């Protein structure tokens, strides 16, 4: 069973939290890694396939080769599958497809994006405590893996505490709290003091999330909030070595290692480019040669050439060909 105390956690990030990035974060010290949020409607149209060539388990849309979620044995004990849902039975149906290959299942209750809210998912759930109770208890009673959820702060701090207490009563293993409210933007400071109110009120582990950009911030937010563990999103996206107690690895080396992992695990080119663009935008500009070259890249081979990893790409490709011939 997953232990949620004293952990450094990679937050769920759409189009970023795929297998290569999760493994990259773990390599640098992340104890728990969340996948990107995937909607239950999408998962129930999928089937589980073992990919012998890559050594992965793939959740693939039926009748296609479109991989919706990919994992591997190396991350089995730390990867959390995060789901968007607004219906208990649909959530269970989706979770049953993935639960044998992940360490835990998390329900997104904090996403403020319109695609999530319009479907009654994400932050839309924050105003529906009965539905939250129904979804979480249904998953808890029917699955053998830990169930958790991630919320945002409500308008009134006391309302957040009350909701957190109701969530705790469902039997979830932990609760992640993003220290911002739904209308807040990323530039608005995270309200660590309001996370502290939740942590003080609960006996289950609380995972604090918001404004962690350096390794030292992990301890700072712990000290202020009293949270059991700490989750980081943008700080990890910009440089995944934020998890390393030995200090950050140079940005250029982190990007190159991400490209190598994307090649090794045959990551979707759109996802790989999106993540690289996010990394580049923070430290540089997409209008410079590197950014323009990433935008123009159409394949992982193009990215391998751009980052000086042609030999590695050829080595992986040849190994894959041999595996396919077996």
Active site residues: 111
Judged by DSSP in three states, 176 sits in strand
Tokens of 239: 């440089």
CA distance 170 to 196: 21
CA distance 305 to 307: 6
| Cβ contacts of 229 within 8 Å, gap of 6 or more | 4, 5, 6, 7, 8, 9, 31, 32, 174, 205, 206, 207, 208
DSSP one-letter string for 93-128: HHHHHHGGGSSEEEEEE---SHHHHTTT-GGGGGG-
Q: With contact defined as beta carbons under 8 Å apart, do 123 and 112 qualify?
A: yes
Judged by DSSP in three states, 76 sits in coil
Q: Which residues of 78-114 are buried (b: 16+ CB within 10 A; e: fewer)?
A: bbbbbbbbbbbebbbebbebbbebbbbbbbbbbbbee
Separation of CA 73 from chain center = 17
Q: Tell how strand 38-39 and strand 46-51 pair up.
A: unpaired
Separation of CA 162 from chain center = 26
Judged by DSSP in three states, 79 sits in strand
């Amino acid at each position: 069973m997953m232990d949620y105390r004293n952990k450094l956690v990679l937050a769920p990030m759409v189009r970023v939290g795929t297998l290569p990035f999760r493994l990259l974060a773990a390599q640098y010290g992340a104890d728990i890694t969340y996948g990107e949020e995937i909607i239950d409607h999408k998962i129930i149209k999928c089937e589980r396939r073992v990919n012998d060539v890559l050594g992965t388990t793939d959740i693939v849309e039926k009748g296609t080769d479109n991989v919706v979620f990919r994992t591997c044995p190396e991350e089995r004990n730390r990867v959390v599958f995060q789901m968007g849902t607004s219906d208990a039975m649909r959530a269970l149906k989706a979770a049953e497809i993935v639960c044998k290959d992940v360490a835990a299942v998390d329900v997104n209750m904090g996403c403020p994006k319109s695609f999530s809210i319009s479907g009654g998912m994400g932050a839309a759930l924050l105003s529906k405590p009965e539905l939250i109770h129904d979804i979480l208890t249904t998953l808890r009673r029917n699955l053998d893996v830990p169930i958790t959820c991630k919320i945002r702060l409500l308008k009134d701090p006391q309302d957040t505490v009350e909701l957190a207490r109701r969530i705790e009563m469902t039997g979830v293993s932990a609760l992640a709290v993003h220290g911002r409210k739904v209308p807040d933007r990323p530039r608005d400071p995270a309200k660590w003091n309001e996370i502290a109110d939740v942590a003080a009120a609960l006996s289950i582990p609380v995972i604090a999330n918001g404004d962690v950009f350096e390794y030292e911030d992990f301890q700072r937010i712990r000290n202020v909030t009293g949270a059991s563990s700490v989750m980081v999103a943008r700080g990890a996206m910009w440089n995944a070595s934020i998890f390393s107690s030995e200090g950050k690895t140079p940005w250029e080396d982190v990007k190159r290692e991400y490209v190598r992992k994307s090649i090794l695990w045959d990551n979707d080119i759109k996802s790989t480019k999106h993540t690289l663009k996010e990394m580049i935008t923070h430290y540089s500009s997409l209008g410079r040669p590197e950014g323009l070259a990433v935008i123009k890249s159409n394949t992982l081979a193009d990215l391998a050439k751009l980052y000086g990893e042609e030999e590695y790409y050829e080595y992986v490709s040849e190994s894959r060909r041999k595996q396919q011939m077996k």
